[in-house]
A = this chain, B = another copy of it.
Amino acid sequence: MPKRTKAEAEATREALLDAAEVIFLERGVSRTSLEQIARQAGMTRGAVYWHFKNKSDLFHAMLDRVKMPLRQLLDDVEDPERPRAPLESLRLATLHALARLQRPRSRRVHTILFHCCESSSDVDILDLHQKLSDECFETMVERFQEAHRTGTLVESVEPEIACRMLMSMFLGLMHDWLRGPDRYDIGEIGPRIIDTFFERITLYPTAGIGTSSAPTESSGSVQ
């Protein structure tokens, strides 16, 4: 029954993307044909070619439905007008990114990105990750540098190294957990890892990280 209303057309588009997520996940991107995606959505290849130029286009559209967590992380760091201690801000952002990752769609798409698609096949994952990673590093390292200046970051820990440690840990944790999400509860392990990391590199002038009563002064710029 062709030709639905405009809303229905949009619904089939979403259904196609949903289907793509499922099939990409279980067959891998390169091994899934557009017909498999169409059938999973209850359509035919014609519908796919109407809404998307080709598989690569569909893939990008699928990615666009989930904001990348690393980018979202940065946005949430900047979030309120209320300035936090830089390390605390980074910690919360990381935890938030971890929480986002557990949402079904985000989890599926990132699993596909990490484990079910090749670099130079249908989409240039390399550049995609590259830009995100670089942008993420540049923004986060400023926080670490500020923490280092203000003495919140343990002095023997270089800001650039701390930043790469955090990013590597997060990346590695994603990679490992998404490989087999049922092996352990990321909602429990993840925060413990993040918190332990920040606990080990943070110098507390007065109180601890605890819940949120982190001290935000220590304005004695050491230099």
Q: Which residues of A contact B (CB under 8 A)?
A: 26-31, 115-121, 125-126, 129-130, 133, 154, 156-158, 161-162, 164-165, 167-173, 175-176, 179-180, 189, 192-193, 196-197, 199-201, 203-204, 207-210, 212, 214, 218, 220, 222-223
A-B pairs, 9 with minimum CB distance? A208-B222, A172-B172, A168-B172, A171-B172, A28-B118, A30-B30, A200-B200, A168-B173, A115-B119
CA distance A193 to B160 in the complex (A): 10
B contact residues around A116 at 8 Å (CB)? 118-120
19 other contacts beyond A115-B125, A167-B172, with CB at 8 A cut-off? A26-B120, A27-B120, A28-B30, A30-B118, A31-B121, A115-B126, A130-B179, A156-B214, A157-B196, A168-B172, A168-B173, A168-B176, A168-B193, A172-B173, A175-B175, A200-B200, A200-B201, A209-B222, A210-B223
B contact residues around A171 at 8 Å (CB)? 168, 171-172, 175-176
Partner of A119, one of B28, B204, B218: B28
| A115 to B, closest residue via Cβ | B119
**Contact call A173/B180, Cβ cutoff below 8 A:** no
**Contact call B200/A222, Cβ cutoff below 8 A:** no
CA distance A222 to B208 in the complex (A): 5
B contact residues around A169 at 8 Å (CB)? 165, 168-169, 172
| A192 to B, closest residue via Cβ | B161
**Contact call A222/B196, Cβ cutoff below 8 A:** no
**Contact call B126/A161, Cβ cutoff below 8 A:** no
A203/B218 contact (C-beta < 8 A), A28-B118, A115-B119, A161-B189 known: yes
